[in-house]
Chains A and B, each alone.
Chain A
Amino acid sequence: MFYATLEGLRRFKIPHKFEFVSIISLYAQWIREGRLNVDSSWNSDGLKFTVQDPCKLVRQGLGDAVAEDLRYVIKKVAGEENFIDVWPRLSNNYCCGGGGGALQAGFVENRRKYGKLKFDQLAATGADVVITPCHNCHTQVLDICDFYGGKWKTTHLWNWLEKALIIDGSAGRAGKD
Chain B
Amino acid sequence: MQEKHIDLEKIRAAVKQKIEKAVPEANINYCLTCGLCASGCPATGLENMDPRKFLRLLVLGQDKEILETDWIYACTMCQRCRYACPMAIDVGRIVYEIRGMRPREERPKNLQRSCDLQRKNNSTGIPNEDFVWVVGDVLEEVRENEPQWKDLTAPIDKKGAEYYLNQNAKEPTVEPEEMVPLWKILHAAGIDWTYSSEWWDGANYCLFTGDPEDWEYTVRKQAEVVDSLGCRYYINTE
Contacts and interface: CB of A to CB of B under 8 A. Distances in A.
Give yes or no for direct A-B contact (beta carbon below 8 Å).
yes
B226 A18 contact: yes
Given A4-B206, A12-B219, A100-B78, A22 B235 contact: yes
The winner among B42, B83, B233 for most chain A CB atoms within 10 A is B42
Contacts of B203: 1, 4, 135-136
A87 to B, nearest CB: 13
Nearest to B82: A59
Contacts of B108: 101, 104-107
Main secondary structure of the interface of B (DSSP, over half): helix
Contacts of B31: none
Contact of A1 (B42, B79, B181, B207): B207
Contacts of B212: 11-12
A7 B115 CA distance: 17
A22 B203 CA distance: 13
Interface in B184-238: 184-185, 188-190, 202-209, 212, 215-216, 218-220, 222-223, 226-227, 231-238
A117 B75 CA distance: 14
B2 interface: no
B188 A36 contact: yes
10 contacts: A4-B206, A9-B223, A18-B164, A60-B78, A94-B78, A100-B95, A114-B76, A116-B42, A135-B203, A165-B184
A175 B77 CA distance: 38
Nearest to B113: A104
A21 B233 contact: yes
B80 A92 contact: yes
A73 to B, nearest CB: 11
Nearest to A116: B42
Given A4-B215, A12-B212, A158-B185, A101 B78 contact: no
Contacts of A16: 223, 226-227, 234
Interface in A116-153: 116-118, 133-136
Contacts of B80: 55, 59, 92-95
Interface in A30-69: 30, 35-37, 54-57, 59-60
Interface residues of A, number: 71
B236 A20 contact: yes
Chain B interface size, as a band, is 35 or more
Interface of B: 42-43, 45-47, 70, 73-80, 83-84, 92, 95, 108-111, 113-114, 146, 148-149, 164-165, 168, 170, 178, 180-182, 184-185, 188-190, 202-209, 212, 215-216, 218-220, 222-223, 226-227, 231-238
Contacts of A37: 188
Contacts of B202: 1, 135
A109 to B, nearest CB: 9
